[in-house]
Amino acid sequence: MAGQFAQRFNLLAENIERIIRGKREAVELALICLFSEGHLLIEDVPGTGKTTLARAIAASVEATWRRIQFTPDLLPSDITGVSIFNQASRTFEFHQGPVFANIVLGDEINRASPKTQSALLEVMEERRVTVDSEPHPVPRPFLVVATQNPVDMDGTYPLPEAQLDRFLMRISVGYPDPAAEVQMLKGMPTGPQVERLPVVARASDVAGMIDFATRIHVADPIYDYVVGVVAATRTSPEIRLGASPRASLALLRAARVRAAAAGRHYVVPEDVKALAAPVLAHRLVLTPEAELRERTAGALVGEILAGTPVPQALAGV
């Protein structure tokens, strides 16, 4: 079964790579997020394919998807939906917002006000929306892919720590290498387009893969290793706010998916190491002294990994 998981995972990755060229790692991380039932924050400069990556994932899966363009005047009800009084039936009827989809693309999420950003807190954690005391579940699978631009800060509202903690990963796409960019130029304007991508998986297939990943074996030393890495972020003198227990759960879920994508029925330390930075770095708040020294959360995670003993019995598995 792990072999079938790996085949379908690779099929999805290759399909997305028809649009996002030369960015296999970013594509695989995005898919790991999908099969971990997590959410993805893509932070990068304009024009590097943030939105295209999200659209390519949605186009590759036969599932519902919606796009929300975040703007300063966007209201919470524009995302979640609203109850409207029906004069014929004399009752209030709930009209679903765009968040009721399998894949939700939140474009430039940091351009909306904190009040509107907070409308996603409940649905990202509990996969439901409560309106007028009535819970409304969203479909499964459910993935929020949000993008933001880290350099254009005019008219933006930085995501608070509670919001960042809802995202399983934060990644960047980055500029393509010269060879990939040449191929992209040669393919314009008749090259592959997101709208023409073939569907290679159904929503039910994704749900089945999610369920399978939860059954990937995790040995006791791996549990200790995950906790050791996360706990070290809470005691580092350069980190003011370390990773929460939600981060431990996220790292373990992602490691299980990475193991299944490699065709394995078990997690190895390398799975944890490869995912630690994308899963943990955006959850950390550095001390002012560390920021003055231009230290980065990613570099600190790397140092924590180097200083945390690896389970020797599993290191070579």
For residues 244 and 305, the answer to whether their CB atoms sit within 8 Å is no
Per-chain mean pLDDT for the chain: 89
Q: Cα(127)–Cα(311) distance, rounded to whole angstroms?
A: 35
Pairing of strands 201-202, 239-241: unpaired
- pLDDT score at 192: 55
In sequence order, which residues have a C-beta less than 8 Å from that of residue 250 and are 6 or more positions away? 36, 38, 168, 169, 279
- pLDDT score at 314: 55
Q: Which residues of 268-289 are buried (b: 16+ CB within 10 A; e: fewer)?
A: bbbbbbbbbbbbbbbbbebeee
Instruction: Give the range among 10-19, 69-78, 168-177, 229-238 with minimum mean pLDDT.
Output: 168-177
In sequence order, which residues have a C-beta less than 8 Å from that of residue 212 and are 6 or more positions away? 1, 2, 5, 260
Judged by DSSP in three states, 171 sits in strand
Return the domain boundaries, the chain: 2-186+199-209, 217-307
Residue 128 has pLDDT above 80, yes or no: yes
- pLDDT score at 151: 64
Residue 57 has pLDDT above 70, yes or no: yes
For residues 88 and 126, the answer to whether their CB atoms sit within 8 Å is no
Question: Is the domain covering 2-186+199-209 a CATH 3.40.50.300 domain?
Answer: yes
Q: Which residues of 3-20 are buried (b: 16+ CB within 10 A; e: fewer)?
A: eebbebbeebbebbbbbb
Residue 41 tokens read as 């924050």
Residue 10 has pLDDT above 60, yes or no: yes
Q: Cα(38)–Cα(119) distance, rounded to whole angstroms?
A: 17
Q: Cα(297)–Cα(286) distance, rounded to whole angstroms?
A: 7
Tell me the per-residue pLDDT of 186-236, one tens digit each, with 9 for 90 and over: 776 555 578 888 999 998 899 999 999 999 999 999 999 999 999 999 999
Q: What does pTM read for this prediction?
A: 0.89
Residue 317 has pLDDT above 60, yes or no: no
The confidence band for 174, taking pLDDT boundaries of 50, 70 and 90, is confident
The average pLDDT across 67-89 equals: 89
- pLDDT score at 136: 92
What percentage of the chain reaches a pLDDT higher than 90? 64
The confidence band for 90, taking pLDDT boundaries of 50, 70 and 90, is confident
- pLDDT score at 132: 82
Residue 19 has pLDDT above 80, yes or no: yes
Q: Would you state the CATH architecture of domain 217-307? A: Orthogonal Bundle (1.10)
Instruction: Return the closest-CA partner of residue 172 out of 25, 7, 19.
Output: 25
The average pLDDT across 255-275 equals: 96
Tell me the per-residue pLDDT of 143-162, one tens digit each, with 9 for 90 and over: 999 998 876 666 788 888 88
Residue 182 has pLDDT above 90, yes or no: no
Instruction: Return the closest-CA partner of residue 103 out of 143, 136, 70.
Output: 143
The CA-based angle 211-213-218, given to 5 degrees, is: 130
Instruction: Return the closest-CA partner of residue 104 out of 134, 73, 133, 81.
Output: 81
